[in-house]
Chain A
């Protein structure tokens, strides 16, 4: 709920009917997915490296949330300055999310037995950059989209079609690939 309210505060006044509908929706998704990721990380993280990875992904989610809220909301004063800072590096955030997706997908394809499905970590970046593609390093984004996309059927095959958690991860990965693909097409 705090994330939901923060999203509204950061976004400020909605400028159009579209953003008036999307800003609270963004906050609601963040209020579920980011907290769900924090929970999963607290249950699964064992070593400093795993805590660091989980923390970085949490930070990335908050950056993407801020970026998305500002893109939908008011654009003046500090909001405009912050938006410009985030917008200039938008390609980085997408590439970082794609990189994390590719790493986790490779883990789930080659060594899935002891890994949890990190769907909650990527849902928000995938949705934000699917709906609002950004320009980024094209070759790298293409490679990441390929790795994640190729992994989807393989991991579903390995997990069996009755595994709902695997389907959840597959769905998030489809969204991520679509976000990378749409961003690739921006010139």
Chain B
């Protein structure tokens, strides 16, 4: 028997034996040896996978922000269901959805902030039904006619519902988007002020109040947006509440005696990291709870962004835009405020291991 033939014969025997025997228990030395390493590697592999996903599902215990006996001030509300967006033409509001939304939000908040009149014609009635107050907004854009209609509807609604509408917001980040000039905005604010009894304000990112000082004298109070994640120099979660406090302090000093409303503040639960600012449910809960605690200690007025995750916002803001809600788009509790001390950490949220009851 030649060497080559012997080798082939041995190989054939090995293959035949392997077919008859269970895994690894073959007769050749080379095939027998991997059993232990194989089992070892399998156990290691199982532990690695379990460890990875368990690590992402680790519970984190934080102090509560809101309880049934202690409601928070305000939250931003838009009437869009999971599959709807303001770009739907025509937008058909679902009254049952809004009714259920307000019933849920009334358990946690004293008031809601809105951004537009479109689709929200029934909101004051629903708010009255659920005992909520409204900071009502009119959408100011570069379209003069659409803006005029929004302002007209705002005035009418504020006058028709003085028991529910506590203040009105003429325009949201319109200067940031460069859709109007400061003088145009002042004119709109004065127009509304002359026709309603409630206080009137305008809302924009804090820096735009400093860039356009002529707006402040026109409003009854200033509404500033403070989003540490989106700052040009983003603040990490450990610095975020402190950053908000610093800016609030600057505004309180600069514009006294006018009152300041922190009109939008919050933290996203999903999306890309910006420098040290990492979106996650735990970080959203940390921020909201830390902020609310500080706001109450200092007597700040605030509105949280936002009530429900809005998937349509991902279109213009990237994934992160859709995940600022305190509840998700299916109206499930994200465990941001209370009652649900178990969180899933990590760069992306996945509800497989989400234990919130």
Residues of A at the B interface (CB closer than 8 Å) are 1, 4, 8, 13-17, 19-25, 27-28, 31-32, 36, 39-40, 43-44, 46, 76, 112-117, 159-160, 162-166
Contacts and interface: CB of A to CB of B under 8 A. Distances in A.
B41 A20 contact: yes
Contact of A21 (B41, B347, B348): B41
A159 B347 CA distance: 16
A137 B274 CA distance: 37
A36 B348 contact: yes
A116 B48 contact: no
A163 B273 contact: yes
Given A4-B46, A43-B271, A116-B272, 20 more contacts: A8-B42, A15-B30, A16-B30, A17-B34, A19-B34, A20-B37, A20-B41, A24-B45, A25-B41, A28-B46, A31-B52, A43-B270, A44-B271, A44-B314, A46-B314, A46-B315, A116-B271, A117-B272, A163-B276, A164-B278
B319 interface: yes
A26 to B, nearest CB: 9
B88 interface: no
Contacts of B276: 160, 162-163
A20 B45 contact: no
A46 to B, nearest CB: 5
Given A24-B45, A32-B48, A14 B348 contact: no
B275 A20 contact: no
Interface string B299-329: 0000000000001001101111101000000
Contact of B318 (A20, A114, A159): A114
B162 interface: no
Given A32-B48, A116-B272, A39 B350 contact: yes
A165 B45 contact: no
Interface of B: 15, 18, 23-24, 30-31, 33-35, 37-38, 40-42, 44-46, 48-49, 52-53, 236, 270-276, 278, 311, 314-315, 317-321, 323, 347-350
List the 7 closest pairs (A to B, CB-CB), nearest first.
A114-B318, A20-B34, A28-B45, A20-B38, A24-B41, A24-B45, A44-B319
B24 A43 contact: no
21 contacts: A4-B45, A13-B24, A13-B31, A14-B34, A17-B34, A20-B35, A22-B41, A23-B41, A25-B41, A31-B49, A31-B52, A39-B349, A43-B348, A114-B319, A115-B272, A117-B272, A162-B236, A162-B275, A162-B276, A165-B273, A165-B347
A46 B316 CA distance: 10
A165 B44 CA distance: 26
A113 B273 contact: no
A163 B348 contact: no
Contact of B348 (A22, A39, A162): A39
Contacts of A19: 34
Given A43-B348, A43-B349, A46-B315, A159 B44 contact: no
B38 A14 contact: yes
A164 B273 contact: yes
A175 B83 CA distance: 39
A43 B319 contact: yes
Contact of A160 (B49, B53, B275, B350): B275
Given A17-B33, A31-B49, A46-B315, A24 B38 contact: yes
Contacts of B46: 1, 4, 28
A116 B275 contact: no
Contacts of B318: 44, 113-116
B37 A17 contact: yes
Nearest to A112: B272
With most chain A CB atoms within 10 A of its CB, the pick from B37, B48, B272, B311 is B272
Contacts of B24: 13-14
Contacts of A164: 273, 278
A24 B348 contact: no
Nearest to A32: B52
